[in-house]
Structure 1
Amino acid sequence: MSIRTNRSTGGAARRTVLVSGASIAGPAVAFWLRRYGFEVTVVEKAAGLRGGGYPIDVRGDAVEVVRRMGILPRLRDAHLASRRLTFLDADGTAVAAVAPRAVGGGTDEDVEVPRGELVRALYEAVRDDVEFVFGDCAETLTDHAHGVDVTFRSGVRRGFDLVLGADGMHSGTRELVFGPEPPFRRHLGYCFALFALPNTLALSHEVLVWNTPGRAAALYAAGDSAALHALLAFAHPEPPPEALRDPAAGRDLVTAAFAGAGWEIPAMVDALRRADDPFFDTVSQIRMPGWSRGRVALLGDAAHAPSFLTGQGTSLALIGAQALAASLAARTGHRAAFAAYEGGLRGLVERTQARVDAGGSALFPATAEALARRNERLRRTATAP
């Protein structure tokens, strides 16, 4: 069926938009589109919201975006306020303890929250005004002069004026329209696993980062929680296809990478192997020559994932969502709107992506020499007045 002929109460035809992805960029762009008078459907492949407790940052201009959305007070209430970032050597001896901002940057206005808290806040801000469809996804997109015909995995067929892909770094929308991911992926030379484990170290409002050359581990205590968020990352020159497809293969690859490591690493590896839903992926960016084709446009990580090493993926998604919706509202033609959206945002995206090497050198020194230089910088930072 087609919903392109939906009408507003005033009788004027509303443009209809399908948004793929109900994480951060998707509900954010849906919020702004609905405010500008669009009829919006959000489709999400998962059966429900996918949150996760690991921390994310809302920084810079993105703070103003969430303020205008009315969710900043809620996020401030959930602010994690990490107090200390301690770097450890191979046997767990402290190298330096610094304020998190000394490594990650930021200002007092920035907000750090569990990812799931932001996902829920965005969803609840828009759920009464937007159609959400969970447990489904687009399988085909047919772009034509009057809209986009969409066939969903469920077999349902619908038509929309526009389709927006906000479905993450491994975007299915991008693959349907632009082709497979590899030409757009810049692998940064590392793989990582995220999982949770009990807080047996009694950590509170702090992060521990362990390094040996080419390997890193982190334990993150979000407040006084009984659980820790854990990361294991290691150098791997190429993306490992089997490990990305098969969770068991991913666990095996991490186990092999951390064989013989000291400190709490054996316990972390054991927790990873027993975890119900660990997340395994490459440390990568998405770099595309263009973010739209026809009546389909991408936003957030689907268009320009900067990698978590920049600490800016969430903020770029929020800023881009508002910019894309505003551009569509200001222009009747989708081509002009998509071009203006990309033209206004690409400079910020490229500057952010270019900073990834600084984040990598701080968290993942690849050689003994690089690790020694990083540790000396940290010691100077820790002793600075």
Structure 2
Amino acid sequence: MTKQSDTTHSDTTQSDTTQRLAHLSVLISGASVAGPALALQLSKYGANVTVVEKAPALRKGGFAVDFRGRAHRTALQRLGIRDEVHARQTHMGRQSVVDADGSARVDLPAAFMSGDVEIFRGDLSEILYERTKDRVEYVFGDSIATLTEDADGVDVTFGRGAPRRFDLVVGADGLHSHTRRLTFGDKGHHLRHLGYYVAGFDLPNHLGLDRTARLYSEPGRMAALSNYDGDPERAGAMLVFASERLDYDRHDIAAQKKLLAERFADMGWETPTILAALEATDGLYFDAIAQVHVERLSKGRVVLLGDAGYGATMGGMGTGSAIVCAYVLAGELALVGGDHRVAFAAYEAEVGDFAKGCQKTAENAGPFLAPPTEKHVRRRDRAYRMLSSRLLAGVFKRLTEKAASAITLKDYS
């Protein structure tokens, strides 16, 4: 493990505020968004932060993620990354629900799917990494193996690196968090299946889409094609289908491709072209649409952040929640000089209802994209045709922002 430069590169004037946590060593598992966002704030307070990531390098690309509502905007501003996020946004336009022949049934306004500002997850991760790489230690290609806590700290062993000791450990390692399993046990009920699966991959942009998307639904299934970055050669495919919980190997890509090909074999619209591209792709994402539910977010010196503690695969504004909650966790630790017992309790009290409210919106993701019957498909289209009208545009925007704005952030500075 190579220690990066300890140069302090604060966004604010140097003061005692920036040294509140200078005595504190923190290990964060996960270098996607939640982990680096927390690392950014903790390093501003002087903490010694290490981020360990099992991937060999920073992950590029990924789905586009959005921010919407007052709390998201405030967190981006206070983290100091708002301008960079806006500079690298997708500028995604309207998206259309189509018939099998490609004709539009409903046009959805950009704000419905893309919020106030939308950015690729990989671009957001890169912004946070660039802001922190000179004052935070990043260890790629490794992961936590064991955690052993005592009264004064946590002894950590790794899959590859030498054992080390930290004051605190943060699990920001996603929906299938290994840190959560080590801390709270491998309890199946932590991950609640919502009755749908989702897949995504890149393919040639054969429809010539330009920052727009087409979405086609049949009962219990959805296929979509989108172009978020204006690249005339590349598009993204998304497949969603209703299903009971499936028993499959998360690392067996060939088996996942076979499963998808069987589920979508007789579907109309552009689905045959999508399935042909699926066979050739080596970048498939496949997972259940699910939520994480834990009894509490911390145990001793270990705490969960982002998807690891209150995640939802899609529709739950998980990235916005991660940014907001990282800001709160760092701030609560700074307020009490690193006393984890007080800070973790305050963190849970501050974000608990907010995170649950955001999660609740995810319950609608599967039924919206792949309604269970043709009657439900028509009902969805009528409802969104009405809500996206000019007359109700303001109401529609407030509805999409309600959960994301259901927290008032303290000014920890």
Partner Cα separation in structure 2 for residue 38 and residue 98 of structure 1: 44
Q: How does 1:204-283 map to 2 (within 5 A)?
A: 204-225=210-231, 226-238=233-245, 240-283=246-289
Amino acid at match of 1:31: L
* 1:98–1:381 Cα contact (<8 Å) kept: no
The code of the aligned residue for 1:92 comes to: G
Match in the other structure for 1:325:
330
> 1:183: Cα distance to partner?
1.4
Aligned residues: 375
Could you tell me how far 1:178 is from its partner in structure 2? 0.9
Match of 1:26 in 2: 35
Matches within 5 A, 1:284-299: 284-299=290-305
Aligned counterpart, 1:342? 348
Closer, same or farther in 2 for the Cα pair 1:87/1:157, shift >3 Å? same
Q: Structure 1 335/11 Cα, relative in aligned 2: closer, same or farther at 3 Å?
A: closer
Amino acid at match of 1:372: R
For the residue of structure 1 that corresponds to 2:66, the secondary structure is strand
Q: Which residue of structure 1 aligns with residue 90 of structure 2?
A: 80
Q: Percent same amino acid at aligned positions?
A: 41
Aligned partner of 1:100 in structure 2 is 110
C-alpha distance 82-228 of structure 1, shift in aligned 2 (>3 A): same
Q: Unmatched 5+ residue regions in structure 2?
A: 9-17, 392-413
**What is the SS of the residue equivalent to 2:248?**
helix
1:135 maps to: 141
Q: Which one of 144, 151, 175 corresponds to residue 145 of structure 1?
A: 151
Query: Aligned pair in 2 of structure 1 residues 182, 130: CA closer, same or farther (>3 Å)?
Result: same
CA distance in structure 1 between the aligned counterparts of 2:318 and 2:144, rounded to whole angstroms: 24
Task: Sort the Cα spacing of 1:178 and 1:228 in 2 relative to 1 into closer, same or farther, 3 A.
Answer: same
Please say if 1:71 is aligned against 2:78.
no
Q: 2 CA distance for matches of 1:85 and 1:12?
A: 46
Q: Is the 8 A contact 2:205 2:235 kept in 1?
A: yes
Question: What SS does the aligned partner of 1:260 have?
Answer: coil
- 1:104 Cα shift? 4.1
Unaligned runs of 5+ in 1: none
**2:225 and 2:193 mapped to 1: Cα distance?**
24
Give, as a single letter, the amino acid of the residue that structure 2 aligns with 1:319.
V
Residue identity opposite 2:44 in structure 1:
R
For the aligned residue pairs, the C-alpha RMSD in angstroms reads: 2.3
Q: Structure 1 CA distance, aligned partners of 2:120 and 2:389?
A: 30
| 1:66 Cα deviation after fit | 2.1
Does 2:118 correspond to 1:112? yes
**Match in the other structure for 2:201:** 195
Contact 1:62 1:318 in 2 (8 A): yes
Deviates more, 1:54-63 or 1:164-173: 54-63
Residues 90 and 212 in structure 1, CA contact (< 8 A), matched pair in contact too: no
3-state SS of 2:92 partner: coil
Q: Secondary structure at the match of 1:244?
A: coil
Find the residue that maps to 1:205 and give its secondary structure: coil
Q: Which amino acid aligns with 1:83?
A: G
Deviation for aligned residue 1:337: 0.8
Q: Which amino acid aligns with 2:78?
A: R
Letter in 2 for 1:99: P
Q: Post-superposition shift, 1:350?
A: 1.3
State yes or no: 1:163 paired with 2:163: no
Amino acid paired to 2:132 = V
Give the conservation status (yes or no) of the 8 Å contact 2:194–2:291.
yes
**More displaced 10-residue stretch of structure 1: 16-25 or 83-92:** 83-92
CA–CA distance in structure 2, aligned partners of residues 348 and 381 of structure 1? 25
Corresponding residue of 2:399: none
> Using a 3 Å threshold, how does the CA distance of structure 1 residues 134 and 105 change in structure 2: closer, same or farther?
closer
Q: Out of 74-83 and 149-158, give the one that drifted further.
A: 74-83
C-alpha separation in 2, matches of 1:241 and 1:358 = 23
Q: Structure 2 vs 1, CA of residues 42 and 11 (structure 1 numbering), >3 Å: closer, same or farther? A: closer
SS at match of 1:309: coil
Q: TM-score, normalised by structure 2?
A: 0.86
Rounded Cα–Cα distance in structure 2 between residues aligned with 1:12 and 1:219: 47
Cα pair 2:219 2:373 within 8 Å, conserved = yes
Name the CA distance, whole Å, in 2 between partners of 1:104 and 1:10.
40
With structure 1 as the length reference, what TM-score do the two structures score? 0.92
TM superposition shift of 1:79: 1.6
The residue that corresponds to 2:306 in the other structure is 300
Structure 1 residue aligned with 2:52, among 43, 46, 60?
A: 43
Deviates more, 1:213-222 or 1:362-371: 362-371
Name the CA distance, whole Å, in 2 between partners of 1:384 and 1:334: 49
CA contact (8 A) 1:28 1:321 kept: yes
Aligned to 2:250, the other structure's residue is in SS state helix
